[in-house]
Structure 1
């Protein structure tokens, strides 16, 4: 038995090495991302690995086995490397919907942080596999050649002796039959192994994807801490493709059930309900805006050590805006730009797919622009502006779905700037195409060029502006040299560290946005619009580029003396002269922006359609991050409502219970939001008209 086992191992050593090295590469890659090499549900990835191993067993040629094994190990290493880079760069796990973002991703992949430990380890195992199998192949060929020479000599000697004795040579059929039987056994064994792997893989995928409702149960009750530790990198990759290509049937509820949920709750007016009624509205999404871009406090230990006066000198417009606005001091955002943008316009987001690519052809009547159209017809000028490329995140199409009359992109702004020169209105270029030169466009140039379109004087307007100058990476930029020189003239006690240089480059971009804000405020003031214009200004996400936010806040992992949830703490400020300056310190998030705007404008809405609440209400929201697949609350980060990744020491049992209760309400909204989009609920003209009629009914006294 031992001899037989030894023979089997010897004959299949290449396959065994492939199997072992593949598992080691997977475990090391998972460890490099999540600091835990063990996978709790490895069956999808293991099934695929067993399938490939079975196919290799069926192949007789050692050379062919080597080639197949090496190809799969290299592909596995590449996939692991890509997933590690994706996580290092953006903190995201792969999901099938990301394939729609692939072109956008290539537009921003620059100076990618490489996980060289993962890369070199995987490369090492691939090379070991190749060297060992090649050496083994060489020894087999040498042994075979020696055996053939010896066998030929022995056969000739035997034949000579038997001819001399008059004995005939025995038939060689027995040896041929033995070789044929060995081949059949090898093929059968390999086929059995491969079929077992396929069955394991298919069963695990089916069990994971068979019931969409289990996804919401997992959000409530799962104890898994992360995706890769649960399924492995390759397991998750296979599962996402299976879920996106095979298990993509939409489980649609009955229309009556969805309708009952939508219209079961109407928003409650807050003390500031309608205080901005009739106002113009400007929403400014500021790329990567952080509080350390304008001030220093205890939760920003590594912010630039400047005095309040020096910060005010460098950022005069942001400082003035802060002093005159309602400030949300505990506002958090944990999303990518496109999702933050949509949340502030729509107030919700599906958990599967991306609105910009998967649902942009649907009717979405619950966005702020579409609600304004329902209630006021053409009473508002509703446009959006972004000084980036028009097709990025498919904005040129999806913003029309959101209800904007027109989306002005960088390409159109260049044409407008050129036309002004051609018409003799100006003799110099107002907006330059810096993106074509490898730099970010300047926000101040966009506002200067478009201010008359953004802030018209003949009609009320809802204007949405998405900035770009502060987009990472943060390197020296020629078009920001003047800002940097001014900053360095004030901040003279420099340390020369790489982190400090990175922060200085970031603050140079903030100074440019500060200039843009000044252009906007001056224009509104000069036109007599400022006193009846409400301005919402917020950061779309923290400054994760080059881990700048981690450095300034001194937060690198869950084991921190700081509050980990503060990693996602960014600015939200609301300028409205009817309210003035005040600080709201309750937990707020991006999903609160849309309900807040509706509340200020005196518009009642159906609360179940929106994940958040007005910042002026007593209710607090919970973040479920579509991009990062976890919950965030004050002092809490959780993979599910039952599985905290981080809890601040001051979080009590009562706080945790409150988080779970609010989180459970949010999960209900997530499920019905998915139904609305996956079932194309409002694309039914009857459903869309019902929503519009109901909005008119609950706002009859507007």
Structure 2
């Protein structure tokens, strides 16, 4: 009776009528004699094998031999089993079944087959011909159990015909699921996709799954880490998702290794960008657009901020880990959990469609009826207000919009000027002017020029709007101080990182004298606008607010050669003044172009005699005293002169030996009752005190101190060291976590209170000014004091000494006027002491002032980009 065949364990029986073949595993590299040596070459091992086989409970694998009970063993293309067949290229043995060998086959209780002889214990012998027939039957049986490559492909298509099969046609699955040498892991074993359909789909998606999730993670963790509002999560969630899906295309069509590398590079770049924004906010208190950051960093090679950057990194190491966590995960687990095999072209089409759908959902989120002075809708259309863009749209979208607007430009928002018509009436009604008694009549006519606006009527919509605003804007009037310093020499100093809280009669007697014996501005503020130093300089020298985004306003004027007729140098050069500017540092913010455009003979870097260390390197930062000593003889005998100094001694960081001036002046501050951080800041500021003392001494020696107007204003406060200001001011400006990033939504704006110096030895007594004022007001005030003709409507600032109402605009668009303070975040207006505005009048006033603030900020980029002054005045 022929032996009954049982199906091999672990395999499904072949469908009836289908010829399936198991793939053969070739063993050409093995010696055929190995099995024979194991079974017959060693008598003791042979006996042990014979004793073990009948037990049916154990198996002993050997090279070339397969043994087992009730199971199947495959070796070199043959399988053997107790109760079934055991096959080996050399020998196969089994108790109760057949043992087949190329030379001999034995079976206890059944058949023994050999090419020449067949023997069986108590049964039959099989001839060579019969053995061949048996071999033929075995081959047929083997063939019926084997699966051809074509059949396997067909099965793979059926297994993947679910969700993924609907996305990618069967003709492309061989590219996604094929077993190739490239699909092996480092140990040589094949990495097979998960058996579950959903897990298999996620595995095969690879970068399309990872990059969107990584981008969403970065945006969410960034917002949490920086303390930003999660209110706008739906907006930046879908924008991040769309960006990740789109960029996954870059890692979809190359070889597996290349796709993996591209995914790592993309992840690393975006992790770095997010971390750079953390450092920018920590060091400079502002987020930066990509092109602005790259240009500024490349311009000065980061040398000015090297110490601050190192400190920022050390204090944000946990942020570094959080931002680079997706890259770490990808490098450690990516190739184990995801497939990076090349995808077919149809996959690209699907990805583009998916990107479009998600992006449309994001745009839908943008256009929801959000509340506030700034909304995602308004921010998405502009290239300004970077901090708000980051919070509401996300870092990725802010950077994308920066690139887009840098190439194609951005549309300017349409601002209605109708509300300005009632502003003059409201101001007049609330004003309580002090009576002035003068012996001679005072000319109070407006400081305006005869302008022909028809010259710039039909240039573009932006210029048309600017014309309308300027013609509706209020002008400032001449006053009793008009022409007070006409013909005087002028020295203008922009003091790096200066705060009036550092002034004391004991430590800084010269600074104390200048702030108390000239014009005394009791409510002067130096708000921190975009790009800090450059933004502060731009306000001081142009009377305009800097654009809150890329391109940097001061740098842009130099690049375009924008005509700026009202700067001190350009105005005074027409009166035969010698105008020279000095900065004892390398080129930064493109001053080599912008400052000559302002009208100065500009000297910096190699053009000046900078102080050196013993090793020949430049001292960092340079001494303000040395700057004055090295330059004053160049101009003091060339009157009238107009000199501009951009100081550097007060540059951060001040601690840890990062500021040479702080180290140099430690003996001066050693006994002060302050923390070491505060002492270091005061020591750095003391170098400015020394420079001013020497300057006034030389002016007095030359007999021209009473014919020289000295002006000094900060570029910005020392925003990196707010605790220092708190200690000097004797008050707190908010919670530590708030002013760590100078969050204007919750800080005390007195942190921006500062000192403005306008002084001459010719002044017999001080003039106290209580009007609120800021840096954009300096230029129109000086032009009026010097008796220079200008049009007060063409600048954002106003003459502080005129009867025009005061206004300070902060970087968040919160503002302060003589009537009160408006917080943009809470949308609350706090009336100033003595203000008579109430009820409807107060509401109308706030509405009109918000419009005025928007107009003053919006006018700057239009003037620069359209060269408006040249076209209007030329």
Q: TM-score range by the shorter chain?
A: 0.7 to 0.9
Question: Is 1:565 aligned to 2:749, yes or no?
Answer: yes
Q: Is 2:694 the counterpart of 1:519?
A: yes
Is 1:452 paired with 2:633?
yes
Q: Which residue of 2 aligns with 1:508?
A: 683
Residue 775 of structure 2 corresponds to residue 590 of structure 1: yes
Could you tell me how far 1:470 is from its partner in structure 2? Answer: 0.9
Aligned-residue offset at 1:84 = 0.9
Cα distance in 2 between the residues matched to 1:561 and 1:260: 33
- Shift of the alpha carbon at 1:106? 1.4
Alignment equivalent of 2:224, drawn from 12, 25, 31: 31
Q: Distance in 2 between matches of 1:525 and 1:40?
A: 65
Asked if the contact 1:369–1:382 (Cα under 8 Å) also holds between the matched residues in 2, the reply is yes
Cross-structure match for 1:120: 321
**Cα displacement (A) at 1:565:** 1.0
Residue 263 of structure 2 is matched in structure 1 by 69
Q: In structure 2, what is the Cα distance between the partners aligned to 1:480 and 1:122?
A: 34
Say whether the 8 Å CA contact 1:26–1:233 is kept in structure 2.
yes
The within-5 A match list for 1:113-262 is 113-114=312-313, 115-136=316-337, 189-194=350-355, 196=357, 226-247=388-409, 252-253=460-461, 258=466, 262=470
Contact 1:34/1:229 (8 A) holds in 2 = no
The alignment partner of 2:245 has SS state of helix
Counterpart among 522, 526, 529 of residue 329 in structure 1: 522
Indicate the residue corresponding to 1:369 in structure 2.
569
Task: With a CA cutoff of 8 Å and minimum separation of 6, indicate the structure with the bigger relative contact order.
Answer: 1
Correspondence for 2:240: 45
Q: Deviation of residue 461 (structure 1)?
A: 2.3
Distance in 2 (CA, whole Å) between partners of 1:567 and 1:237 is 30
What's 1:473 paired with? 653
Residue 38 of structure 2 corresponds to: none
CA distance in 1, matches of 2:367, 2:827: 28
- CA deviations 1:372-421 (Å, max 9, x no partner) are 334x3x2x2222222222x22222322221122x1232432318xxxxxx
The structural deviation recorded for 1:253 is 3.6
Q: 1:414 to 1:645 in 2, by over 3 A?
A: farther
Which residue of structure 1 aligns with residue 508 of structure 2? 315
Residues 681 and 672 (structure 1), Cα distance of their counterparts in 2 relative to 1, 3 Å cut = same
Q: Which residue of 1 aligns with 2:857?
A: 670
SS at match of 1:464: strand
The number of equivalent residue pairs is: 592
Could you list the per-position Cα deviations for residues 503-525 of structure 1 after superposition, in whole angstroms to 9, with x for gaps in the alignment?
11111112111111111111122
Query: What is the rounded CA distance, in whole Å, between the counterparts of 1:315 and 1:599 in structure 2?
Result: 30
Higher share in helix: 1
Is the 1:18–1:129 Cα contact (8 Å) retained in structure 2?
A: no
Q: After the TM superposition, which of the residue ranges 643-652 and 84-93 deviates more from structure 2?
A: 643-652
- Structure 1 SS opposite 2:713: strand
Pairing partner for 2:273 from 74, 79, 85: 79
| Preserved CA contact (<8 Å) 1:45 1:201 | no
TM-score, normalising length: structure 1: 0.73
- Cα offsets for 1:465-515 (capped at 9, x unmatched): 111111111033555555211221x32x56xxxxx2221111111211111
Asked if residue 603 in structure 1 is aligned to residue 788 in structure 2, the reply is: yes
> Partner residue of 1:540?
715
- 2: CA distance, partners of 1:438 / 1:25: 40
What do the CA deviations read for 1:203-228 (whole angstroms, capped 9, x no partner)?
A: 99999xxxxx9999769999998222
> Which consecutive unaligned segments of at least 5 residues does structure 2 have?
1-159, 165-195, 369-373, 413-458
**Cα offset, 1:202, TM superposition:** 9.7
Q: Distance in 1 between matches of 2:410 and 2:225?
A: 31
Greater shift after overlay, 649-658 or 237-246?
649-658
2:556 corresponding residue in structure 1: 358
With normalisation by structure 2, the TM-score equals 0.60
Does the C-alpha gap of structure 1 residues 606 and 79 become closer, same or farther in structure 2, counting only changes over 3 Å?
same
Structure 1 residue aligned with 2:477: 268
Counterpart pick for 2:797 among 584, 600, 612: 612
Shift of 1:438: 4.8
SS in 2 for 1:327: strand
Give the Cα separation in 2 of the matches to 1:582 and 1:127. 63
Deviations along 1:76-98, one digit per CA (max 9) or x if unpaired, are: 21110011111111111222444
1:407 counterpart (602, 615, 634): 602
Does the CA-based 8 Å contact 2:583-2:605 persist in structure 1? Answer: yes
Asked if 2 retains the 8 angstrom alpha-carbon contact of 1:290 and 1:571, the reply is: yes
Q: 2:481, 2:784 within 8 Å by CA — same for their partners in 1?
A: yes
Query: Equivalents in 2 of 1:567, 1:463: separation in Å?
Result: 30
Secondary structure class of the residue paired with 1:436: coil
Output one character per residue of 1:285-329: Cα deviation in whole Å (capped at 9) or x when no partner: 11111122114xxxxxxxxxxxxxxxx332121122223122222
- Residues 315 and 235 (structure 1 numbering): CA distance in 2 closer, same or farther, change over 3 Å? same
Cα distance between partner residues in 2 of 1:91 and 1:18: 29
Cα distance, 1:337 vs structure 2: 1.7
Is the 1:332–1:589 contact (alpha carbons within 8 Å) kept by the matching residues of 2? yes
State how far apart, in whole Å, the 2-side matches of 1:608 and 1:453 are: 36
TM-superposed deviation, 1:120: 0.9
Q: 1:644 Cα shift?
A: 4.3
1:7 equivalent to 2:197? Answer yes
Secondary structure at the aligned position of 1:193 is classed as: helix
Distance 1:362 1:263 in 2: 22
Does the aligned pair in 2 maintain the 1:28–1:118 contact within 8 Å?
no
- Of 468, 480, 492, which aligns to 1:283? 492
2:588 maps to which residue? 392
Following the alignment from structure 1 to structure 2, what is the Cα–Cα distance between the partners of residues 29 and 461?
51
In angstroms, what is the RMSD of aligned CA positions?
A: 4.2
Counterpart-to-counterpart distance in 2, 1:395 and 1:281: 21
Q: Shift of the alpha carbon at 1:121? A: 1.5
Measured in 2, the distance between the counterparts of 1:31 and 1:637 equals 27
Tell me how far 1:271 sits from its aligned partner: 3.3
Contact map agreement 1:636 1:644 (CA 8 A) in 2 = no
Residues 252-309 of structure 1: CA distance to partner in whole angstroms, max 9, x if unpaired?
Answer: 34867655655676530133222222222221111111122114xxxxxxxxxxxxxx
CA distance in 2, matches of 1:276, 1:619: 21
For 1:234 and 1:561, how far apart are their aligned partners in 2? 23
Bigger mean CA deviation after superposition, 669-678 or 459-468 = 669-678
In the alignment, which residue of structure 2 is the partner of 1:149?
A: none
